[in-house]
Amino acid sequence: MPKPTLEVLQGGSAADSRAALRDLYSKYGGSVFGRCSYLLKDRSKAEDAMQDVFAKALTHLGDFRSEASPLTWLMKIATHHCLNVLRAERAPWHQRFRRQEQSRSEGHGGPQLFEDREAVRHLLSRCDLETQAAAVHYYVDEMTLEEIAGLLGRSVPTIRKRLESFTRESQKEYARKNESDSEGKEEKES
Amino acid sequence: MTTEPHIKEIALRRFWAGELAAPEKPAIETHTAACPRCRARLKEMGDEQRRFEQEISFDRFAAGVERAGRTPRRVPASSRGLSLSGPTMRWFFPLASVAAAVALTFTFAPRLRTGDDTTAVDRALSRIKGGSGITVQIAPAGRGPQRTAAVSAPETLSPGERLRIGYQPGTHQYVTALSIDDQGEVSPLYPEAGRSLPVSRAKGSISATQYLPDSIELTGKGSERVIVILSDQPLEVEAAKQAAHTAFQRAGDLARLASLELPGEQFQRTFVKP
């Protein structure tokens, strides 16, 4: 088993701790900040969230099991934290989502829908928190069902069910877009 | 050119971070050598880290993480199945001061209490002018009965207990909440920055309790006072923070802290951290 990259430092000196934090910064800072920016779409909020994530990681090192990947663990915390931030801002986010939907003249979707990470992000607002996390880990991190199940502490069938529900939402969205596009075309033709 | 499936994002990131060993590491090295797409994604990960380091220096990062770990920060609720709680070990990062207080937050819904454990004095003190006041509910770490923080004496908290702040707006329009510990460290709670929050008001009632979102856990040692200001005009959080600093400097310790020099009505509860 590979040695964990992030070790629990108990009662280490300030210098040791600073060195550990620098290691986290150099190895994972970009990834965690990238995840926070992707979900929050605001550099300032993303920086706050990233700080919370690393602070949380440092206070929850007991959760960090020796067999776990520090990166995967941090991405889980970052995803969870940002989805909660978005949920707290639920009303503004939904409003923003609706505005984006209304202002978009051409729908984008179809088989490529899931290849578009922005589409995944937009669809998140329609699902519960656990489904959101599963969708981000599946479609953005490209983790397997087993990996997500292990990460979120759920069974594979549960994760499959969550992702199926996300897929159904995306299909509804695709159908709605098609309908809206067809109506738009008919209006133009008439 | 390779015909193998592309490397998954998380595996590439782990490879980039140096987490992988044999057999994954050499397999990815071989694949990326032959696959322009995966090579480009790997390069993008390096570029992402460089952009991050250009934007946020290590000193700024370290200071921000230290501050986030020290300051009670309001974080939205964890949900079932996604909670980061569980068998955790609190480990206080020595970059922060020994007395650093780390706040981890959860949400609990204040439940209807079956027994009233507040005294008549507490109840009287909690309602002052025009029906305005505050109520701080305390929830235990696990399942169990909640209680209301005492008004007239410091409330001793047990490990893991969480606070949720409720207020009765009365005729006031804005609410601001902050905390100050016995070292004089001031932490804005609601909101964390900007200006006061407009109060929520139940239809037809100015004295119904409205709860601020989420909840906080105060960790660390010593005492900490939660101060809620109900005002008719919005307050700048920075001004409220400064007023708390000034009051602490004048008082010298938390026990002698006077009201903050701010407009509006102030309500406070003091907690002794476990």
Chain A neighbors of B90, CB-CB under 8 A: 59, 62
Per-residue pLDDT band at A115 (split at 50, 70, 90):
very low
Is a pLDDT exceeding 60 seen at residue B53? yes
A4: in domain? no
Task: Check: CB of residue A56 under 8 Å from CB of residue A81.
Answer: yes
Query: Letter for the amino acid at B137?
Result: Q
Across the interface, whether the CB atoms of A59 and B92 are under 8 A apart is answered yes
A105-114, A130-139, B7-16, B220-229: the lowest-pLDDT one: A105-114
Across the interface, do A25 and B61 touch by the CB < 8 Å criterion? yes
Which residue's structure tokens are 């802290």? B257
Q: What is the CATH number of the domain that holds A64?
A: 1.10.1740.10
Note whether residue A170 is domain-resident. Answer: yes
| pLDDT-derived band at B166, boundaries 50, 70, 90 | confident
Weakest mean pLDDT among B44-53, B98-107, B130-139, B175-184: B98-107
Q: A105 to chain B nearest CA, in Å?
A: 31
Q: Note which residues in 98-117 of chain B have CB less than 8 A from chain A.
A: 102, 104
How close is the nearest chain B Cα to the Cα of A137, in Å? 9
CB A172 within 8 A of CB A161: no
Per the CB < 8 A criterion, the answer to whether B148 and B135 are in contact is yes
Find the CATH number of the domain harbouring A115: 1.10.10.10
Tell me the two tokens of residue A111.
């088989």
End-to-end CA distance of chain B: 61
Same domain, residue pair A39 and A105 = no
ipTM for this prediction: 0.73
Q: Are residues A37 and A123 in the same domain?
A: no
List every span in chain B annotated with CATH 2.70.50: 120-272
Task: Tell me what pLDDT residue B77 has.
Answer: 39
Cβ atoms of B84 and A79 closer than 8 Å: no
Q: Is the pLDDT of residue A29 over 90?
A: yes
Per-residue confidence (pLDDT) for residue A188, from 0 to 100 = 59
Count CA within 13 A, CB hemisphere, residue A44.
1
- Whether residues A62 and A153 share a domain: the answer is no
Which of the pair, B31 or B130, is modelled with greater confidence?
Answer: B31
Are residues A106 and A185 located together in one domain of the fold?
Answer: yes
Does A100 share its domain with A188? yes
Is the model's pLDDT at B12 over the cut of 90? Answer: yes
Is there a contact between A129 and B75 if contact means CB atoms under 8 Å apart? no
Residues A130 and A183 in one domain: yes
Sheet holding B162-168, edge to edge: B147-148, B133-139, B162-168, B210-211
pLDDT computed for residue A75 by the predictor: 93
Higher pLDDT, B122 or B244: B244
| Within-domain flag for A1 | no
Does the residue A107 lie in any domain?
A: yes
- CATH architecture of the domain B120-272 equals Distorted Sandwich (2.70)
Tell me which of B231 and B160 has the higher pLDDT.
B231
Q: What pairing do the DSSP bridges indicate for beta strands B174-181 and B155-156?
A: unpaired
Q: What is the pLDDT of chain B when averaged over all its residues? A: 75
In a domain, A146, yes or no: yes
Tally of structural domains, chain A:
2
**Is A3 contained in some domain?**
no
pLDDT band at B84 (very low <50, low <70, confident <90, very high): very low
CB within 8 Å: B88 and A56: no
On whether both A146 and A59 belong to a single domain, the answer is no
Determine the pLDDT at residue B5: 82
| Mean pLDDT, range A7-21, rounded to an integer | 55
The residue among A88, A116, A142 that closes a domain is A88
pLDDT tens-digit map of B218-242: 867 789 999 999 998 999 999 999 9
pLDDT at A90: 61
Chain A residues within 8 A of B66 when measuring between CB atoms: 55
Return the bridge partners of B210, or none.
Answer: B167
Domain that holds residue A116: 91-190
pLDDT band at A36 (very low <50, low <70, confident <90, very high): very high
Higher pLDDT, B54 or A16: B54
Which of A88, A105, A123 delimits the end of a domain? A88
Distance, in Å, from the CA atom of A183 to the CA atom of B97, rounded to the nearest integer, reads: 63
List the single residue in A5, A21, A153 with the smallest CB-CB distance to B65: A21
Tokens 């210098």 locate to: A15
Q: Compare CB distances from B48 to A2, A34, A142 and report the shortest one's residue.
A: A34
The per-residue pLDDT for B94 is 30
Q: For residue A137, is it left (φ>0), alpha (ψ between -120 and 50) or beta?
A: alpha
B60: left (phi over 0), alpha (psi -120 to 50) or beta: alpha
Tell me the torsion sign for CA atoms A161, A164, A170, A176: negative
Per the domain annotation, does A5 fall within a domain?
Answer: no
pLDDT band at B102, cuts 50/70/90? Answer: very low
Partners of B11 on chain A (C-beta within 8 Å) are 142
Q: Are residues A135 and A62 in the same domain?
A: no
Residue A28 lies in a domain: yes
Domain identity same for A84 and A95: no
